[in-house]
Amino acid sequence: MTAERSPDVAPAPAAPRRRHWGLRHDCEKYYTIILGTSQPPLHRKLKAWLWNFELPCIALYRFGQLATVVRERSAILGVPPLLAFAPAQALTRLLLHVEISPRCRIGPGFHLGHPYGIIIGPTEIGENCNVTHGVTIGLGLSPAGRGIPVIGNNVWIGPGAILTGPITIGDGATVSAGAVVSRNVPPRALVAGNPARVVLADYDNSALLSYSMPG
């Protein structure tokens, strides 16, 4: 069975259209995964921020979203934060090869596992999603496949995966390491291979996500 554009595949709920710059759920998820609790003591939080790059990368993206919103509301007030964001993003791209486009809309509870070699172009990503190292998510450039991916909630994307074009990744879907996805993926499906195909139609990825958004 191949993951494909099909009228009988329920689309994922629309990913957040607004720019989200809050860090609460990103932090709680990171602490849960790395430290085993969503509310660790202050010294452990500080150590996590100083010795790992996951949260700083996400915080930089969130700051870019805030800077963009300020710029949209006030041409003058928006200049200083954007001037601060641009060199920080360039440094992150240079040192870690991590680039998350400011045009990308990502919901709360986002996690980067081993943030190296990650490129996320203009796209929409829902709540409580995990992206691991070596992942590329971006705009399709061919005439037949031009457009951006729309990724639902609770999606886990494995190392080295590539997602491209106007595709929909359903809620709870799992993209295996090295998968190349250019067609729709149904909700809760596990896909693998190049081109990606459904290997399990009802896969529970909650253990991979390691976090649930508060109700």
Give which of 168, 173, 161 is closest to 209, Cα–Cα: 173
What single string gives the DSSP state of each residue in 185-208?
B-TT-EEETTTTEEEESS---HHH
pLDDT at 151: 96
Alpha helices by DSSP H, listed for 74-194, are: 79-96
Residue 9's Cβ-count burial label (10 Å; 0-12, 13-18, 19+) is middle
Which stretch of DSSP H or E encloses residue 7? Answer: none
Q: 176 vs 23, 67, 164, 193, CA distance in Å?
A: 27, 34, 15, 8
Give me the average pLDDT of each 10-residue run along the chain (215 residues). Answer: 45 58 94 94 93 93 93 89 92 92 94 94 95 91 75 97 95 97 96 96 96 88
SS3 118: strand
pLDDT at 5: 46
SS3 49: helix
pLDDT at 145: 63
Residue 37 DSSP symbol: S
Tokens representing 34? Answer: 């790395």
pLDDT at 3: 54
CA atoms of 106 and 125, how far apart (whole Å): 5
> What are the respective helix, strand and coil percentages of the chain, to the nearest 5?
30, 20, 50
Q: 208 vs 1, 72, 156, 160, 203, CA distance in Å?
A: 23, 37, 7, 16, 11
Q: 175 near 161, Cβ under 8 Å?
A: yes
pLDDT at 162: 97
pLDDT at 78: 85
Domains delineated in the chain? 24-209 (2.160.10.10)
